[in-house]
Amino acid sequence: MTEPTQATMLTPTALDGVRVVEMGQLIAGPFCGKTLGDFGAEIIKIEATVTGDPLRNWRLLKNGTSVWWQVQSRNKKSVALDLRQQEAQDIARKLIAEADVLIENFRPGTLEGWGMSPDELHQLNPGLIILRISGYGQTGPYRDLPGFGAIGEAMGGLRHLTAEPGRVPVRVGVSIGDTLAALHGAIGVLLALYHRKAHGGKGQVIDVALHEAVFNCMESLIPEYSAFGAVREAAGSALPGIAPSNAYPCKDGWVLVAGNGDSIFKRLMTAIGRQDLADAPDLASNAGRVARVAEIDTAIGKWTFQSSVQEVMDALGAARVPAGKVYTAKDICEDPHYQAREMLLTQETRDGYSVTVPGVVPKMSGTPGGVRSSAPGLGDDTDAVLAEAGLTNEQITLLRSKGVIQ
């Protein structure tokens, strides 16, 4: 595991000087904030008093706080406000007035209900970039329906494909819809920041819907339907229309093989002792291989089943055929490649223990990202942020006594 170094902490960051107010919770909005924060943006996270972001209590807890929180909220400042109170809304406006970016992933209309519509916020701060992530977007007949990541994955077309044929559509095991929405949101924020700086543009609203972020990654799903009336169906571990690309059984597990390149296919067939398939004229291109994919998969599976995963990996590696084992968390933590590329960082938490967390992606040569601060406790930064915003100690004490802040 790698610990963040002092040199890394002092290296200039790509988003140094960008101030972000994050009003979202759970996954999509906060993951976008985490991504921007990893590259130097100042992230002021507004949380509800008493409870904070529900992610603090999701999945496995250590010392009463989710270890997921330690990843999602690193490089952030926590300001606890009871936004049901007018004075808390006024404080939020004050912080937003000095920000470059606002991130929110409430149900459409929530900000408007607090008197913080984009038009009202742009009157306070014309250059403000507002990222709004929601289940179905800010417009359209579904805008007011509750939308979570799983629903976005289904509506975006992904859930129909992630299953064995004829069986229940399954999740991929993580909140991929939220993450895709967050990354699309981060792209939008960076585009808007560039436009504002390079072209003298004002602030603007970025509208990201969960299902559209998933839909944008669905490759040829719609063109195939439009051109041929073809509805792509679930195909289990295979990649429909591309062959061979599948998971194959070994003595002690499974191995993934991507032999769908023309020259790669020849090397693969030679490696498994099927020179007849390597030399078959109709298998020289992908279209021919797709027509005989069952035969090819059977041949590969018979060969892999005779050996261990490592033996198969060694043989295919020597033949320069892309192959990989199915990694668990344990495999990742023990893998030398992950370690060499600093993808496993040791992070000291404010609860007094160390935890291994994912490193920063992508890697940048001149302005690398890094972990500058650990995830905050609820309201850890309320006093400091409000003091910087111009509130006196007396005002802060009074607001706390009234339950406006924590």
Catalytic residue from among 53, 178, 207, 297? 178
| Strands (E) located in 50-150 | 61-62, 65-66, 76-81, 101-104, 129-134
Tell me how crowded residue 247 is: count the other CB atoms within 10 A of its CB.
17
Q: Give the three-class secondary structure for 209.
A: strand
* Structure tokens given for 29: 């909005």
For residue 351, indicate whether it is catalytic: no
Q: Give the three-class secondary structure for 376.
A: coil
Rounded CA Rg of the chain:
25
Classify residue 390 as exposed, middle or buried by CB count within 10 Å of its CB (0-12, 13-18, 19+). Answer: exposed
What does the DSSP 8-state code read for residue 2? B
Q: How far apart are CA 215 and CA 152, in angstroms?
A: 9
Distances (CA, A) of 254 to 161, 246, 251, 304, 334: 21, 10, 8, 9, 18
* 103 touches 29 (CB < 8 A): yes
What does the DSSP 8-state code read for residue 3? P
The amino acid that residue 66 corresponds to is S
Nearest Cα neighbor of 279 from 292, 288, 270, 287 is 270
What does the DSSP 8-state code read for residue 146? -
* 27 touches 208 (CB < 8 A): no
* Residues whose CB is less than 8 angstroms from the CB of residue 273 and which lie 6 or more positions away in sequence, other chains included: 303
Name the one residue in this structure whose structure tokens are 């049901």: 84
* Structure tokens given for 193: 């920041």
Q: Which residues of 75-112 are buried (b: 16+ CB within 10 A; e: fewer)?
A: bbbbbbbbbebebbbebbbebbeebbbbbbbbebeebe
Q: How far apart are CA 91 and CA 131, in angstroms?
A: 19
Catalytic residues: 178
